[in-house]
Chains A and B, each alone.
Chain A
Amino acid sequence: MTLTAADVKKIAHLARLNMSEDDIAFYTPQLSNILHFVEQMNQCDTSHIDPVANPLDLSQRTRPDKVTEPNQREAFQKIAPEVQAGLYLVPKVIEDEA
Chain B
Amino acid sequence: MKTVAELSRDLASKKISSVELTKHYLDRIKKFDKTLNAFITVTEDQALENAKKADEKRAKSAAGPLTGIPLAQKDIFCTLGVKTTCGSKILDNFISPYDATTVQKFNDAGLVLLGKTNMDEFAMGSSNENSFYGPVKNPWDLERVPGGSSGGSAATVAAGLAPAATGTDTGGSIRQPAALCGITGLKPTYGRVSRYGMIAFASSLDQGGLMTRSAEDAALLLNVMAGFDEKDSTSVDKPVPDYTKKLNNSIKGLRIGLPSEFFNQGLDADVAKVVQAAIKEYEKLGASVHEIHLPNTKLSIPAYYVIAPAECSSNLARFDGVRYGYRCKNPQDLEDLYKRSRSEGFGAEVKRRIMIGTYALSAGYYDAYYLQAQKVRGLIRQDFSKAFEKVDVILGPTSPTTAFKIGEKTADPISMYLSDIYTIAVNLAGLPGMSIPCGFAKNLPVGLQLIGNLFSEEQLLTAAHNYQKVTDWHTKQPEGF
Contact = CB atoms under 8 A, between A and B. Distances in A.
Interface in A43-75: 43-44, 46, 49-56, 58, 60-61, 63, 72, 75
Contacts of B340: 18
A5 interface: no
B373 A58 contact: no
B70 interface: no
A79 B381 contact: no
Contacts of A19: 343
Interface residues on A, range: 35 or more
B413 A38 contact: no
A17 B339 contact: yes
Interface stretch (B125-133, B149-157, B265-273, B299-307): B299-307
A39 interface: yes
B142 interface: no
B375 interface: yes
Nearest to B335: A16
A72 B96 CA distance: 13
Interface stretch (B23-31, B42-50, B322-330, B464-472): B322-330
B63 interface: no
B250 to A, nearest CB: 30
A42 B306 CA distance: 12
B337 interface: yes
Highest count of chain B CB atoms <10 Å: which of A33, A43, A49? A49
B246 interface: no
Given A80-B324, A90-B337, A91-B336, A58 B354 contact: no
Given A44-B296, A75-B97, A53 B376 contact: no
A46 B375 contact: yes
A31 B356 contact: yes
Contact of B233 (A11, A35, A41, A60): A60
B209 interface: no
A41 B302 CA distance: 6
B377 interface: yes
Interface string B368-406: 110111111111011000000000000000000000000
A44 to B, nearest CB: 6
B97 to A, nearest CB: 5
B362 interface: yes
A23 to B, nearest CB: 8
Highest count of chain B CB atoms <10 Å: which of A30, A38, A78? A38
Contact of A81 (B321, B343, B379): B321
A32 B374 CA distance: 21
A40 B233 contact: no
A88 B454 CA distance: 44
Nearest to A55: B430
B84 to A, nearest CB: 11
Given A79-B95, A79-B324, A81-B322, A34 B413 contact: yes
A17 B430 contact: no
B57 interface: no
B331 interface: yes
Nearest to B203: A54
A52 B322 CA distance: 34
Contacts of A33: 413-414
B440 interface: no
B191 interface: yes
A72 B324 CA distance: 14
A55 B429 contact: yes
Contacts of B343: 17-19
Given A46-B376, A56-B191, A58-B236, A15 B355 contact: yes
30 contacts: A3-B359, A8-B355, A15-B342, A15-B355, A18-B340, A27-B351, A30-B413, A33-B413, A34-B356, A35-B356, A37-B301, A37-B414, A40-B298, A41-B302, A41-B373, A43-B299, A44-B299, A49-B376, A49-B382, A51-B374, A52-B374, A54-B234, A55-B204, A55-B377, A56-B191, A78-B97, A79-B97, A82-B327, A88-B323, A93-B334
Given A30-B413, A34-B305, A37-B417, 13 more contacts: A3-B359, A15-B313, A27-B355, A38-B373, A44-B296, A51-B375, A52-B375, A55-B190, A55-B204, A55-B381, A56-B236, A58-B234, A91-B333
Interface of B: 93-95, 97, 190-191, 204, 230, 233-234, 236, 296, 298-299, 301-303, 305-306, 313, 317, 320-325, 327, 331-340, 342-343, 346, 351-352, 354-356, 358-359, 362, 368-369, 371-379, 381-382, 413-414, 417, 428-431, 454
In the A-B complex, the 9 residue pairs with the smallest Cβ-Cβ separation, listed nearest first, are: A55-B430, A51-B374, A46-B375, A81-B327, A18-B343, A18-B339, A49-B378, A38-B302, A52-B377
